[in-house]
Copies of this chain bind each other. A is one copy, B any other.
Amino acid sequence: MAKLSFEDFKPGAVTEHGPRLVTREEIVAFAAEFDPQPMHLDEEAARSSMLGGLAASGWHTCCLMMRMAADGFVLDSSSMGAPGVDEVKWLKPLRPGTHITLRVTVLDTRVSNSRPEMGFVKLRMEVLHDEGVPLMELTTSMIMGRRAAATVAAP
């Protein structure tokens, strides 16, 4: 049990996860289910859109971020989830055939006042394309359990 706990997240620390190849098939399948705007479904419609060509729904990029985070560290941590997300920025189109990576930066941590057995870990999540350019960024505060030892008050 070498699970990551609150104490393992140090402000300033940066980790990278992935890469993951994003295919045309999954872009179109996601769009058909959740975001059936023509620019996410059809190359010709997409060419005349602001995206200038077929690109993933921004929500798809969020979901791929979550999956890379889950595989990269969340499933091996004491995470209890997150109350929300701030400042999702869709910076550039995510094109079919792109290998994406996830860069996670620890911005801040604080122990919960009301529940000292847990704390908040504020993270910046950036999804980068092949050449390291950010396609999306967001910030979120994850709720992480503290190590058992840390919650035992000194006598």
Chain A residues within 8 Å of B, Cβ to Cβ: 33-37, 39, 49-51, 57-59, 62-64, 66-67, 70, 74-75, 79-90, 143
Contacts and interface: CB of A to CB of B under 8 A. Distances in A.
A74 B63 CA distance: 21
Contact of A63 (B35, B51, B79): B35
Given A86-B86, A88-B88, A66 B75 contact: no
Contacts of A64: 34
Given A83-B90, A89-B84, A90-B82, A143 B50 contact: yes
Contacts of A80: 49-50
Contacts of A90: 81-84
Contacts of A88: 84-86, 88
A58 B37 contact: no
The oligomer's copy count stands at 2
B57 A66 contact: yes
22 contacts: A33-B63, A34-B63, A34-B66, A34-B67, A35-B67, A35-B70, A37-B81, A39-B81, A50-B80, A50-B81, A51-B81, A58-B81, A58-B84, A59-B59, A59-B63, A59-B66, A81-B90, A84-B87, A84-B89, A84-B90, A85-B85, A86-B88
Given A39-B81, A50-B143, A62-B59, A33 B86 contact: no
Contacts of A143: 50
B70 A36 contact: yes
